[in-house]
Amino acid sequence: WYWQKEKREPYVKFMEANYPPGFSYEDFGPLFTSEFFDPNQWADILKASGAKYVVLTSKHHEGFTLWGSKYSWNWNAVDVGPKRDLVAELATSVRNRTDLRFGLYHSLFEWFNPLFCEDATNVFKTRKFPTSKSLPELYEIVTKYQPEIVWSDGDGNAPDTYWNSTGFLAWLYNDSPVRDTVVTNDRWGLGSMCKHGGFYTCSDRYNPGHLLPHKWENCMTIDRWSWGYRRNAKLDDYFTIEELVKQLVETVSCGGNLLMNIGPTHDGRIALIFEERLRQMGAWLKVNGEAIYGTKPWRAQNDTVTPDVWYTFRPTEGKVNAIFLNWPISGALELGEPQAKLGETQVKLVGYKEPLKWIALGEKGMVIALPQLTLKQLPCQWGWTLQLTDV
């Protein structure tokens, strides 16, 4: 898009400098080889990340499908490049080796598909593209791979009536093989984002920092600048684990899920930096998972006195989790939100055995004495959880 349509100078120059004259986008197809793609290894990394669901990009805006689609002749991973059904392989490994829910991303429109371009020229009064390409593909992947998340994207500035989204969704929720378990997002046509859908995405990298009344997802990338793999990325271009934990905690306390994107390589590898971040997140969740999984937002999302303290709530046990991202130098953490009751309120540091001492500050607020621990004794290295009962 940047190279062929917008003709942005850095992209045009990059192609001129690094590829033969007359090289077309289609010529990338055979270069996508996937020789190192090991779906079992991917599944093990995903499981180790602590994630509860995974979404694979089955087709992006350039129309190349990662399965042997009947509707994408000679422009799919079975006919060109890997010569493998990548969707089937990953779905099988994820289902056999993990308890993650398997989801598929699918782009409605395609930048340069002549049928889409023709419909767009006709101001979407004709519907050649959705009827012959987009919708048949959607029915195909749902029937064939039974994804439990259908992550739609790319409305191409066309309304939902052009895409017949409501017709497809009615089938998905009433008659499809995943009707009882499927969850969808909110990108089903112009104007539907942040208004309709099982969960809202609202925009890429959406993190409002306050509570939303509807379930939502912060869909972001571990590489700060790209959804793909960049050979020329620098270490600073990747979020640190501290930054990712902060994103997760902020997102969950405001009622959202975090979808962290990684860009695999053309030869089918998850780059080591991505694997490390995923495994670090899994290590953090092993300790602090109770403050994340199955929680609801509390009456306050973040603390009024100490910045970088975020709250989550476990209604079944009546536990409030205060996740603090900076260990105070004084060894005492002041919280402005909880109302503590003498003789009733208990405070625990998750991953540490002894209950903690605290004092109440009038009507609202408390100061908690943190244990004096060496680096080795800390339950985890980034972000810690206090469990408050009876506040």
Q: How far apart are CA 194 and CA 187, in angstroms?
A: 8
The tokens describing 155, both together, are 């409305």
Nearest to 187 by CA among 178, 179, 198: 198
Domain positions in the chain are 9-291, 296-389
Q: What is the distance between the alpha carbons of residues 388 and 391, in angstroms, rounded to a whole number?
A: 7
Give the architecture-level CATH label for domain 9-291. Answer: Alpha-Beta Barrel (3.20)
Alpha-carbon distances of 317 from 179, 287, 349, rounded to whole Å = 31, 18, 16
In this prediction, residue 357 carries a pLDDT of 97
What is the separation of C-alpha 60 from the centre of its chain, rounded to a whole number of angstroms?
A: 16
Q: What is the per-residue pLDDT across 74-107, written as a single tens digit (0 to 9) for each? A: 999 999 999 999 999 999 999 999 999 999 999 9
What's the mean per-residue pLDDT of the chain?
Answer: 97
Give the confidence band of 362 by pLDDT, cuts at 50, 70, 90.
confident
Length of the chain in terms of residues written: 391
Gap between the Cα atoms of 136 and 130, Å rounded: 8
C-alpha radius of gyration, the chain, whole number: 24
End-to-end CA distance of the chain: 54
- Res 279: pLDDT: 98
Helices (H) and strands (E) in the chain, counts: 10, 13
pLDDT per position as a tens digit, 36-63: 999 999 999 999 999 999 999 999 999 9
pLDDT average, residue stretch 179-190: 98
Q: Are 253 and 312 in contact (CB under 8 A)?
A: yes
Q: What CATH number was assigned to the domain covering residues 296-389?
A: 2.60.40.1180
Residues 6+ apart with CB under 8 A from 268: 33, 34, 35, 36, 37, 38, 82
For residue range 214-262, list pLDDT tens digits in order.
999 999 999 999 999 999 999 999 999 999 999 999 999 999 999 999 9
Give 387's strand partners: 321, 348
